[in-house]
Amino acid sequence: MTEEAMLYGCLHNDAVSQQELYNRFSPKMLSVCYRYAKSREDAEDMLQEGFIKIFTQIHQFQSRGALEGWVRKIVVHTCINNLKKNKKFSESVDIIHATGIQVKEENIPSILQAKQVIECIRMLPLGYRTVLNLYAIEGYSHKEIAAMLDIEESTSRSQYTRAKAMLEDILLKKNILQKPRERTEWMEAVKSN
């Protein structure tokens, strides 16, 4: 089914077209929700809410942009709204000095690298994780994040800096990331040959 036909069907509340759109985007969008949610179950609840919004607001989609981007935007906003209902979340994004976490390699499942990275992101404190998701992956600016989360722009920046440092540490410990060799080491390696 082409995207135009699918959109036309969704606009007319056609179940087949709606299921096509759902099948097309739900795996990716569940991954988005999973990065924000506390658990898989919470992520599925967010996904369900997000898709109901998508189908009820499909007439607001402007065909100028990509459909996936619009779908993603609604899903991300649904996730954020869900998180904001949680009091613990409000507290966590306002904490400037989040407590560090001890990362042990065995905590990280070794399945696929993409999954490993997602699991590493999910190990971050909730406030860190949310800001990191919005800034690094979704591409929102700190100003937009501040408006979305009802926090100061500076708080968003500092949360991101700390989140990034913590995630880098996790990824390095897991050997998912590797620090580049110093130039001198490389030169010496060449010389020794």
Partner 1 sequence: MERNFYNEDFEGFLKDKADQHRLYPSEKIWKNIHRQLHPRREWPYIIGALLLLLLGVASKYYMDGDEPGNSATVSANNANNIASPNEPAGTTNSSASDNSITPGKKDNRPLSVISSRGINNNEPLSLSFAPGSRNEISALVISGPAGQSTGLFAIEKRNIPFSDLIPLYSIKKINAADISISQPSSLPAEINEMMQRQHADPSSAIVLRPGKKERIEWQFYFTPTVSYRTLNGKATKAPYSYNGIVYSTSPGFPQNVDDAVTHKPSIGMELGMAMLYNVNKKLRVKAGMQFNYSQYLINAYNYVPEIAPYGSSRNGFRSDTINVISHYRNFNGFTQTWLRNERLMISLPVGAEWTVAGKGRVQFNVAATIQPTYNLTNRAYLVSTNLKNYAEEPSLYRKWNVNSALETFLTINTGTVKWSVGPQFRYQLLSSYKNNYPIKEYLFDAGFKVGVNKTLK
Q: Site residues (CB under 8 A) for partner 1?
A: 1-2, 5, 9, 13, 15-16, 18-20, 22-24, 26-28, 30-32, 34-35, 40, 43-44, 47-48, 51-52, 55-56, 113-115, 117-118, 121, 132, 135-137, 139, 164, 167-168, 172, 175-180
Best CA proximity match to 30, nearest among 52, 11, 17, 45? 45
Q: Can you say whether the dihedral through the CA atoms of 149, 153, 157, 158 is positive or negative?
A: negative
Smallest distance, partner 1 to C-beta of residue 113, A? 6
CA distance 36 to 83: 8
* Residue 24 or 73 having the CB closest to partner 1: 24
Q: Which is nearer to partner 1, 87 or 181 (CB)?
A: 181
Rounded to whole angstroms, the Cα distance separating 87 from 65 reads 35
CB of 27 to partner 1, least distance (A): 4
If the CB atoms of residues 84 and 122 are measured against partner 1, the closer one turns out to be 122
CB-based contacts of 83, cutoff 8 Å, min separation 6: 36, 89, 126, 130
Nearest-approach distance from CB 137 to partner 1, in angstroms: 5
Q: Using the minimum distance from each CB to partner 1, give the nearer residue, 24 or 90.
A: 24
- Pairwise CA distance, residues 20 & 5, whole Å: 10
